[in-house]
Structure 1
Amino acid sequence: MKQGRKIYDPAFKKQAVQLSYERSNISELARELGIEVTMLYKWRKDYQEFGEKSFPGKGNLKQTPEQEKIHELEKRLRDAELERDILKKGNRHFFQERSMKYEFIKNHESLFPIEKMCSVLKVSYSSYYKWKARPLSNRERRKREIKKQITSIYFASKQRYGSPRITVELDSSGFKTSRITVAKYMKELGLRSKLSRKFRVTTDSKHNYLIAENILNRNFLVGSPSQAWVSDITYLQTKDGFLYLTAIIDLFDRKVIGWSLSTGMSTTETSLAAWKMAVKNRKADSKLIFHSDRGVQYASKKFTNTLAFYGVKRSMSRKGNCWDNAVAESFFKSLKTELIYGNKLITREQMELEIFEYIEIWYNKKRRHSTLNYQTIEEFNNQNKIYKNVA
């Protein structure tokens, strides 16, 4: 029967090598030790190269002092990177109550080592497992469920909702809680709605066309559809250059009833294109006030004649007064805050798709509007049954 290969422990190898330095006949020493002379020469070579690290044992690597130092530095770097990743994901939990830290560890067990997370977040390893094993109280169970719902709503809204709108969404799902509690839980979860930037308006009012009076006079609350529409134009930056978005909003329910995206700023591409969509969606007649800024796209003869054909009353903001068209500007501010700011530049084609989704699916159907008492446009119109057939 064939015998298996004999394994020599590190101490034996080291002593054999040291003894070989004292003997003049290495072959004779090998025979005395019962090993091959070639094996003894190999051990001597290893010892000359790696010194005390020559015989690390099964499964370990031979390393020179320099290699060992590099290995140790690499290990420290990996530990530092792991701690960085844990802190990056869990930094909002660092100064939170202990249970929140435990919750973070539990939710990331598959991603990071538990002991490392406990160390970084400065909690006891054994205390974490005691917490994990104990049964939840009804209060803690409800808190967890509400936080889960908050997180779901927050990301479903693409991080656009703050505590007021999330509170309404929770209420509509059967979770009664206060806005203050929602704000507190959002802070604990590190959830924050997208922040706005200073709004910039693109208006060319240097023209010789006639300017209409401001007959709307900031009367932004109206009692019926097609009583007053407001419109404005803004620019959207893309990888391929600018796109220009024109929007027409009915003040009754704040719905964007007409809009257009264009690469140019002509009347045909902007105000007139948006108008054609608007009149397909809602009736326009002599009872309607159409309000805009003094831009050439709204003051041009082509657009003025179109409004005259429908018998619509024109209204324009006063010079340099953006508050006269606050609703339209507010819409653009919401769109840029919720859709564009903080995101990378995309192509025109991608932007067109994003704008379509934002207006037709998000803003007109799902978004909760503070002006409508945090109802969606559809909920608002359903509540006002007399207008249930409004598009």
Structure 2
Amino acid sequence: MKVVTRRSFTDEFKLAAVQESIDSPDTVKAVAVRLGISPKLLAKWRSKFVTRKESSKPIKNNGPSKSLKDLEAENKRLRKQLERAELENEIPKKGEGVLRQSAKVKFAYIHRVSSVRRTVKLMCDVLGVSRSGYYKWLNHQPSDWTRYNQRLLAFLRQQIEKHRRIQGYRKLWEEAVAHGYACNKKRVQSLLQQIGYRSNACKRRFGVVRPKEVVPTPPNYLNRDFSVDAPNRVWVSDITQIRCHEGWQYLCVIIDLYSRRVVGWATSYMNSAEMVLRALKKAWKERKPKGKALMFHSDRGSQYRCYDVLKWLTKRKVTVSMSRKGNCWDNACSESFFGLMKKEWFSNLEQMSRKEMVAECRNYINGYYNVVRRHGTNGGLSPMMYELRN
């Protein structure tokens, strides 16, 4: 025979169970299952401890602060608020910048993206426009002036494609007048500006773009001290451009301040650091200087501040000096050389090809300037003769 023992509960447990069942929005059965007791037993305890007949100090049955129905309603309301907040955050992110646009642009955007989830009311509230204004815009019929502008703009688009975007607004206005459109130049210009049209014949002029300082610019160690008492102590360099049939050709020279002799030079159709490196290598091969005793001075051009050029110089322990910002007189010797070359040599020649220009540079530097031309700083001697005598 199976013996069933009855469970016993203390009065404290009974009171706590009754209090929990009263405060909880759950049913008596749900609370009883959670406590591991019979629902009938919990109901019996509630009857005992709540009524005055069974207890001298009954428990007040105020019920839960909110019923289950109220909690479900509040949960539904909070979910709706959260969904609306998510939509309000999503609309500006995907709004294509319409928050700063006019009301008509906002209305067009609402008409394009509104849906069951993104209601017109919600989008109008987020974008700061009225629903009445939106529906007025939606049902608005374009005026005769607007319809005429639309026809004129369609004609202008046809002419733009026909003439391959070459004509400006004046020529397009003439075409419109020739085809019977009654309009003036300003009207055509305004319509073309609305669609962002720009003639291919108009080349945009760009301003001067200041390069970012990738590496610190070396100071002006030379400080306009152009008097040097020994060769291979100070080299100065600069770049100029000469117009040729094919376009600009660039020339980079390196001058030894001791005798004003051009010790290295290079040309290129591109104004690049590679041209400076070729001139440096040519000068180094011819002069074979001691790097620690040499100073290399130039302007602040990006070709001289290039990483490859600075690395090549610092590897040989050359002191790098650069002119002050916007001060061409700090590199006056190089500037003077280019002025003399263009005045004495190239001004007397017709425009030539790039190949001919390179040959003329060689003739002037190697055949005339270094060997023949007398220099005032050298006491009337040519650079090469000055070095031979000293």
- Length-normalised TM-score, structure 2: 0.45
Q: Which one has the largest radius of gyration?
A: 2
Which protein, 1 or 2, shows the higher relative CO under an 8 Å CA cutoff with sep ≥ 6?
A: 1
